[in-house]
Amino acid sequence: MSQAIGCIDDCTGITSRGVENAATPWIKELYKKLINPNPENAETFARPKERCREMLNTTYVECSEENWDGYGARPVSDASLFESVRFINELPSYLPAPSDISADPDGHITMEWRNPRGLIFAMSFSGTGEVYYAGLLGVNKPRGTSYFINSIPKDLIEKIQSVGL
Amino acid sequence: MPNCKISRFVFTNAWMRANGSVKWNAFMPSEKNPRPSVFRIDGLTEEDVWNIGVNVAGKPSGRDLKGRADLFEQDVINVRLHLENTPEPPRHAEIVGWSPDKADNMSKAQELAHISKGYYFLK
């Protein structure tokens, strides 16, 4: 029987349980590339990004089983996890790191930026490149779908900035 | 009754914040659970409410109760959703009227979470 909580990557703190269980070696390779795109320069990872990876790990462990919410939620998908890790890796240093990371009952990882005045902006990573977003930014309540393929779209960057962290 | 108080029970730490408030994800519908479940709690003591969480909502879930979010039926109506009672169990209702668009639902769930008052379950 496989362990519920598998090995934790020393550099990122992200569990590789799902990857260790995967039968296909290319998934393992892809995962390694995503969590540490530049291994020679690992010490340059900013602390906020390390914290994000810890939150991703916690969410993945908490939400990796069927029915993790008690209401029939799907396990967090590997595709959504990879996409989220890639997003964190791509996050420019001038942008704040997410305040919180969680999961939706459909198995998507979510990231949230929240300021003390209650402004909030959140994204949900489908794992297919489609990113759903919504926010409560004062009188503005932006919502929609964007696409994270190679780089973070400009509209998402602007909305993260508008939280005012 | 629009001024009826309702509770959404939470069975995962992933949806609880350190300050006891409940994250918006807790209100999200999904393919498997398109009508998020709540209980009407008017006239109940705190102990009664937690008992519903543990023994009525918690039993079928097979998971331990972590907390709950309280709000009013009017709060649900204000985001263009509504409650539908179910025959069983008593006091049980479901939040219905969700959109097929996930981003719309995230926005509504955020408003519900924002207006709700969250509590950790202390055993």
Of A73, A132, A134, the CB nearest to B30: A73
Look at residue A2 in the predicted model and tell me its pLDDT: 36
Interface predicted TM-score of the whole assembly (ipTM), two decimals: 0.94
Whether B68 and chain A come into contact, CB under 8 Å, resolves to: no
pTM of model > 0.95: no
Q: What is the DSSP string of A18-36?
A: HHHH-S-HHHHHHHHHHH-
List Cβ neighbours of B103 (8 Å cut-off, separation of 6 or more).
Answer: A132, A133, A134, A143, A144, A145
Residue B53 DSSP code: I
Distance CA A79, CA A13 (A): 18
Each residue's pLDDT tens digit, B42-98: 999 999 999 999 999 998 788 899 999 999 999 999 999 999 999 999 999 999 999
CA-to-CA distance for A101 and A118, rounded, in angstroms?
A: 17
| B31 close to A (CB below 8 A) | yes
* B56 vs A: CB within 8 A: no
| Helix or strand (DSSP H, E) at B117 | strand B117-120
pLDDT at A7 over 80: no
pLDDT tens digits, A89-119: 999 999 999 999 999 999 999 999 999 999 9
Chain B contact for A140 (CB, 8 A cutoff): no
How many Å apart are CA A104 and CA A77, to the nearest integer?
Answer: 11
Phi, psi dihedrals of residue A27, rounded to the nearest 5°? -65, -40
CA separation for the pair B35, B28 (Å, rounded): 9
- Chain B interface mutation, best of A56, A62, A71, highest count of B Cβ atoms under 10 Å: A71
Determine, for residues B11 and A69 on separate chains, whether the beta-carbon distance falls below 8 Å.
yes
Question: How sure is the predictor about B2, in pLDDT bands with cuts at 50, 70 and 90?
Answer: confident
The 3-state DSSP class for residue A106 equals coil
